[in-house]
Chain A
Amino acid sequence: DSGVTQTPKHLITATGQRVTLRCSPRSGDLSVYWYQQSLDQGLQFLIQYYNGEERAKGNILERFSAQQFPDLHSELNLSSLELGDSALYFCASSVLSGGTEAFFGQGTRLTVV
C-alpha cells in the first residue's frame, strides 16, 4: 500500500457526462500529480498541484480540470466525456514539488460507454 488513496476504483459512465475522481495523498506529501494511462499506453502527465496551487500543466484537455483543497486532497473533474477518455487515471504524491519519489495510487478505471 503506497498510502495514496484514489476513489472510486471503477467508474462507468455515458458519453457527455461529467465525473469527479478523488485522490488523498500520503500523509505529509504536499505535491499531487495526475496521470492518464490509456490501454497499453504510457503514463501521460496531466497536471500537478503543490500545497494547493497549480504548479505544472501537461497535455490536459480543456474539458478536464483539477484542484487541490486545503486538506491537500485533490479532485480531477472530467466533463463532456468521450469514448476516448476511457483510461486508467493515476494520482501520485510526493513530499516536495518533484525530485523525490512519487508514490502512485491504485488508479481509477474510467469506462465511457
Chain B
Amino acid sequence: GENVEQHPSTLSVQEGDSAVIKCTYSDSASNYFPWYKQELGKRPQLIIDIRSNVGEKKDQRIAVTLNKTAKHFSLHITETQPEDSAVYFCAASEGDNFNKFYFGSGTKLNVKP
C-alpha cells in the first residue's frame, strides 16, 4: 500500500515568515494529494489539494507543489499568521481508484507573534 512520510514533525516560525512542509509518497499511481489543517480539538479540514496533472496550485497565502518524478509534494504558507498555528496533514490517494487516503504523520506548526 501507499506510504506517506511527512517532515518536519514540528515547525516554529516567526509571524510573517514562510513555512514549508514536505511529504513523500511511495505509490507512483497516486494522483490526488490533499492537505488538511487540524486545530486543537477540532476536525481536520481541507485547505488545498492538487491532482497529478498539475505541478503547482495556489490559493492566496497557501500553495502546493507536486513533483511526480520524485514522488514528493510540499505545502507552502507565506506571510504566516498566529491563526495558522495548527497541525497540518498531507495525504495521498492510493492507486487509480482513489480508494484510500493515506495520511502523513502531521506537522505541528507554531507561529510566534
A-to-B contact residues, CB < 8 Å: 2, 33, 35, 41-45, 48, 55-56, 58, 90, 96-107
> Are A102 and B46 neighbours in the complex by a CB distance under 8 Å?
yes
> Are A101 and B34 neighbours in the complex by a CB distance under 8 Å?
yes
> Which residues of chain B have C-beta atoms less than 8 A from A107's C-beta?
43
B-to-A contact residues, CB < 8 Å: 1, 6, 31-32, 34, 36, 42-46, 49, 89, 93-94, 97-106
CB of B98, distance to nearest CB on chain A (Å):
3
Which among B6, B98, B104, B105 has the greatest number of chain A C-beta atoms within 10 A? B98
B102 (CB) vs chain A CBs: closest residue:
A45
- Nearest first, the 4 A-B pairs at minimum CB distance are A98-B98, A99-B98, A56-B99, A104-B43
CB of A90, distance to nearest CB on chain B (Å):
7
B32 (CB) vs chain A CBs: closest residue:
A99
> Are B43 and A90 neighbours in the complex by a CB distance under 8 Å?
yes
> Are B105 and A41 neighbours in the complex by a CB distance under 8 Å?
yes
> Which residues of chain A have C-beta atoms less than 8 A from B104's C-beta?
42
